[in-house]
Structure 1
Amino acid sequence: MKTFNTWLLGLICAGLIFCVGALCGSWYETRAAKDLEIKQLREAFEQGQAVGTVRDVVVTEFVERERIIYKTGKTITKEVPVYVTPDADAACTLTRGFVRLHDAAAANVLPGPAEPADAGPAGIALSAATGVIADNYTTCHATRNQLTNLQRWVRETHAKVNNAKGSPGNE
């Protein structure tokens, strides 16, 4: 009977040791998972702040450059009468062919075959055409500025995200 009690006591002790070990292991794994989750949330927050900073810088520079582009374009358009005088308007006749070709180029379509009527005057003053062309270039520069800044934002955001993922301890 004494042997049975010793075995029983040993079995109970082993069971208790197993249960305590299982509980400690479970607690350790839960704690490690929570620590990892906290670390990931902190990294995501820091990454979000870095990306937000990139966005703010790019947008600020975009808006400032956009303002300069439109201000310059407006100034150039105001100068059309200085550079294209009424005498120049009278001396230069824009043809229908010029207008057709310009409009086709602006729409990025082929104008179709030239016609005899294209040689005739379009009734559009050279100064008016110059103003339209200057405004078109202003729009082109603004669009280029927008695209350039969008590309910069994508590159810098991508770099911030990849640097955060590739930094030591972030695997």
Structure 2
Amino acid sequence: MQNTMKSIAVGMSLTARIALWAAGTGLVLMTALIAAQVFWRYVLNDSISWTEPASVMVMGWFIFLGAAVGIREGYHLSFDVLLYVLPHKAKMVLYTISDGVVTAFGCGMIWFGWQLAEKTSSNVLPSLGISGAFDFIPLVAGGFLIVIFSLERIARRLAGLPTARFGDDPVED
């Protein structure tokens, strides 16, 4: 099981790296779009109609991709004061419960994001000329990544692999 998990971890690491690069590229792209809009509006006294909705769409991508990578790396919000006084095994149980809740949240993102995309698929975003469903695809993609990264964390823990870089304390009490 440990060898299988190590192989899966390599694939998940590559997936996370690609998602992080895509998120970073999206942040740069959004910044460039907003800068172009400001330049056109205030310097050229004109306006580009599609930059604002495109920026918001790109922002959805980098937020949800970045959040998913944060989940994998253990950087999501947590209240861990209790963990300082618990034995190692109790900590691992609480980490697993936390990852289970995060997995359920990711499933909700997929489910409700898909419903939103379905309901808005017939709408056309006027300035971009594309389906309104494109606004919700980042929610579904981010939810999917959150689910697989959270399940990876649980599987690594159950396989007995060191998970320190994933937010767990590997030190035995």
TM class by shorter chain equals 0.3 to 0.5
If each structure's helix is expressed as a fraction of its own residues, which one has the higher value? Answer: 1
In terms of Rg, which structure is larger? 1
